[in-house]
Amino acid sequence: MRCAIVGSGLAAFATYATLRHGGLPAEEIVVFGTHEDPTEVWRTRAAAIRQQRMRSESDGHLAPAAFPGLAVREAARRVSPAPLLRSVTNRYHPSVDDFLAHADSLRSRTGWERSFRLQRVERIRAVDGGFTLDGEGPFAHVLIATGHPGLARPDAFPGAVHAYEPHDYASKVAIVGAGMAAATEWLNALAAGAEVVSIRRREPLRRPLNVPRPFFSKRGLAAFHSAPTERRAATLRELSTPSYPAGAAWDEPVRAAERDGRFRVEASPNGSEQVIAATGFRHGFRHDPLLADLVDAHELPTHDRWLVLDPDSTVATLTDETRTLSVAGIAGQWAFPAADTIAGAKYAAHAFRRRACRTR
């Protein structure tokens, strides 16, 4: 085995598909994970907030090549140019069902099951010629994609249900947060007939994607990568501000509810029967036991809550001509600010493929 992927979520699967596209046989890759279905965790969370559409656009799928995107596929399936027209005007957001169906189809084509091993890795160690995973190996190239290190629950509301956990809506609901999940929950609760109290620390930021578009390409990344450490961290903090897209689909139901007195912003739940914490995930590698152990064992460079990575998402001190340690997903933000998006997963996957296939 030359390559190991630690984790079995979307980022892991995007990396796996990319390696297979690069010509690596399934027998040379092992995926260590806790879920055989790479979409299971994400699917559960999306279902919890009743998400219908992706925030990403046509190229927000897990296949290695951006083309054909989901808009092209939908246009071909429906024999309609409408998805393409919406895509060129940045108004196309694939449905969650389409995204998942495409992921399932890709999974069956790539041979994921042949490489998957049901095992939670607890320790990664650098050794001559690669890395051992819980003593197994060595693997020359390892990519860590362990995902978000747990849900963030506000201390002020210990009884709150998290938005990403299955739940229904009471008749009066307080929703904590101001990001995409919170905005989705406002609409869900209103649609369910509930009265909504929005609890937020700041006014929501309206942005089509998680981060401004230039940060998805070298154009914005070049300045980010060359910035001094603290400025880079400051940029990441700023980009972490919760946001959701602009548009009437988001605003109209809220405005209508405000007019009817069913939606208001308050500092406390104010008698709400239910509190929903749409507060996202815990931040920082310290919350991930595997990464925390790896950092401590090899004294890896860090800054604040971030693992310091090279622009190609690798850990510089443990990567050379013969071996690669890459980080994908939210823990890879030091290389790619939108690391917890599909584009971020692919960014790390592309760099990992270049290294894994070059030294094959």
Partner 1 sequence: MSYTLIGRIQTRVVSVLPALLVALALQRWWAIELVALMLGIGLVLDVAVYHRVFTYQPAWLALPLGVLELGLVYGGMRWLHLMAPLRWALGLYAIGWVAAQLFGHAIFPRLRLEYAEDGGELGRRGALGAVAVATIVAGGLGAAYAVRPPTVHLHGTIQGPLVIRHAQTLVGGTVKGGILIRADHVTLRNVTVVGGEDGIDVLDSHHVMLDNVRIVGVSLDGIHVRRSSVMIEDCKITSPNGPWVQGIDISFSMDKEMSMVEGCTIVGVREGIVTHMTMVDVMHNHIGATSLRGITMGEMSMGAISHNDVLGAHGVGIICLDHSECEIEHNTIVGTRTDPTGDSSRAGVAIEAHFFAKAKVKHNTVIASPGGVQAFDGSTVTR
Binding site for partner 1 (CB under 8 A): 18, 21, 59, 64-68, 87-90, 212-214, 216-222, 343, 346-347, 350, 353
- Nearer Cβ to partner 1 (117/360): 360
Helices (H), the chain: 10-21, 40-48, 70-78, 82-88, 96-110, 112-115, 180-191, 218-226, 229-239, 248-259, 289-298, 342-358
Q: Which is nearer to partner 1, 232 or 346 (CB)?
A: 346
- State the minimum distance, in angstroms, from the CB of residue 157 to partner 1: 38
| Minimal distance, residue 33 CB to partner 1, in Å | 23
Smallest gap from Cβ 175 to partner 1, in A, equals 31
State the angle between helix axes of 96-110 and 70-78 in degrees (0 to 180), rounded to the nearest 10: 100
Of 125 and 350, the one with the shorter C-beta distance to partner 1 is 350
Residues 355/357/359/360 CA torsion (nearest 10 deg): 150
**In angstroms, what is the minimal distance from the CB of 339 to partner 1?**
12
Q: What is the CA radius of gyration of the chain?
A: 21
Tell me if 114 sits within 8 A of 108, measured CB to CB.
no
SS (H, E, C) 48-72: HCCCCECCCCCCCCCCCCCCCCHHH
Q: Measured between alpha carbons, how far is 157 from 143 in angstroms, rounded to an integer?
A: 36
160 DSSP 8-state letter: P
C-alpha triplet 6, 9, 12: angle, nearest 5°: 50
The dihedral region occupied by 172, where left means phi > 0, alpha psi between -120 and 50, and beta the remainder, is beta
Nearer to partner 1, 92 or 169 (CB): 92
Helix, coil or strand: residue 199: strand
Q: Based on CB atoms, which residue is closest to partner 1, 30 or 338?
A: 338
By the 8 A CB rule, do 29 and 4 touch?
yes
Shortest CB 54 distance to partner 1, Å: 17
Q: How far is the CB of 49 from partner 1 (least distance, A)?
A: 28
Least distance from partner 1 to the Cβ atom of residue 333, Å = 15
**CB-wise, 2 or 346, nearer to partner 1?**
346
Nearer to partner 1, 67 or 135 (CB): 67
Instruction: Please give the backbone phi and psi of residue 124, each rounded to the nearest 5 degrees, phi first.
Output: -120, 130
Query: In terms of CB distance, is 213 or 255 closer to partner 1?
Result: 213
Q: Cβ of residue 182: shortest distance to partner 1, in angstroms?
A: 26
